[in-house]
Amino acid sequence: MQNLTKTELHCHTKMSAGCGLIGPSELVHFAYDNGYKNIAITDCGNVQAFPEVYQTWKKLWKGYAEDCAKKNINADREHFLKVIYGMEGTLLGEDGETYPVLIYAKNQDGIRNLYKIVTESNLHYSDKTPRIPRSLLEEHRRGLVIGAVCDEGEILQAIEAGRNDTEVRERIAFYDFLEVVPCGSWNEHLNKLVLLGKECGKLLVAASDA
């Protein structure tokens, strides 16, 4: 078992058409073999990778636990690779605009609500891609962690459009965390996103849209 130090909070598999090429099982093995502490599965608009991801993780844990038993040591779940089940969704704002949004399930309530959101967005709000009305996300928010995607996300778009700080703060209030992804190079808009996020007491997460 390697010393796990890395975390990836925005990762796509081949279940994300056009955004990922790696298979769910291969991705979990890669994270485990390369010392990742956490990896978030955030496919676009769907949760189809979850069963394969879970079965792969379960086999890795079983192998690890058996090795620990042979060595007469306790299997340490706390320091074993953790999979965060999530999704990159398309948030539908009241103004009709759409924004990418990260949604993580933090417990079983979250998993159930994520499934409800996926179902509703595909059945009733799909327009080429399944969209999630803000009201639907609010209704099923229990057990979920919501993050604003940096590139093309609601907060960065508001800043780039010249919205005043008060309006930007009101938009930030909806989210649990803000993703920061320097696209090309650092700029004044990213700097403002970080400053306003800190002012609002929001967690800032560096991610890579892997």
Q: Which fold has domain 6-84?
A: TIM Barrel (3.20.20)
Query: Does 88-206 match 6-84 at the fold level?
Result: yes
Give the pLDDT confidence of 10-62 residue by residue, as tens digits: 999 999 987 888 999 999 999 999 989 999 999 999 999 999 999 999 999 99
The backbone region for 35, taken as left when phi is positive above 0, alpha when psi lies in -120 to 50, beta otherwise, is left
Single-letter residue type at 42: T
Give CA–CA dist 99/134, Å, rounded: 11
pTM of the model: 0.92
Q: What is the pLDDT of residue 58?
A: 97
Q: What is the pLDDT of residue 2?
A: 54
Single-letter residue type at 155: I
Residues ≥6 apart with Cβ < 8 Å to 37: 4, 5, 6, 7, 79, 81, 82
Q: Is 62 exposed, middle or buried (0-12, 13-18, 19+ CB in 10 A)?
A: exposed
HSE at residue 192, side-chain half, CA atoms within 13 A, is 17
First to last CA, the chain: 24
> Which of 70-84, 86-100, 173-187, 196-210 has the least mean pLDDT?
173-187
pLDDT band at 209 (very low <50, low <70, confident <90, very high): confident
Give CA–CA dist 25/33, Å, rounded: 12
The closest alpha carbon to 43, from 79, 7, 89, belongs to 89
Q: What is the pLDDT of residue 19?
A: 85
Domain spans, the chain: 6-84, 88-206
Q: Mean pLDDT throughout 97-121?
A: 97
Q: Which residue has the higher pLDDT, 69 or 185?
A: 69
Q: What is the pLDDT of residue 4?
A: 64
Give CA–CA dist 163/182, Å, rounded: 21
Q: Tell me the two tokens of residue 122.
A: 């595909």
Q: Tell me the two tokens of residue 38.
A: 């956490």
pLDDT band at 187 (very low <50, low <70, confident <90, very high): confident
Q: Tell me the two tokens of residue 32.
A: 């485990």
> Which of 14-18, 67-71, 160-164, 184-188 has the least mean pLDDT?
184-188
Q: What is the pLDDT of residue 18?
A: 78
**Percentage with pLDDT > 70 across the chain:** 96
**Percentage with pLDDT > 90 across the chain:** 82
Give CA–CA dist 100/111, Å, rounded: 19
Mean pLDDT of the residues in the chain = 93
Q: What is the pLDDT of residue 153?
A: 93
Q: Classify 33 as helix, strand or coil.
A: helix
Strand-strand pairing, 132-133 and 82-92 = parallel
Give CA–CA dist 12/41, Å, rounded: 6
Q: Tell me the two tokens of residue 64.
A: 């690890």
Give CA–CA dist 142/137, Å, rounded: 9
Give CA–CA dist 102/94, Å, rounded: 18
pLDDT band at 1 (very low <50, low <70, confident <90, very high): very low
Q: Which fold has domain 88-206?
A: TIM Barrel (3.20.20)
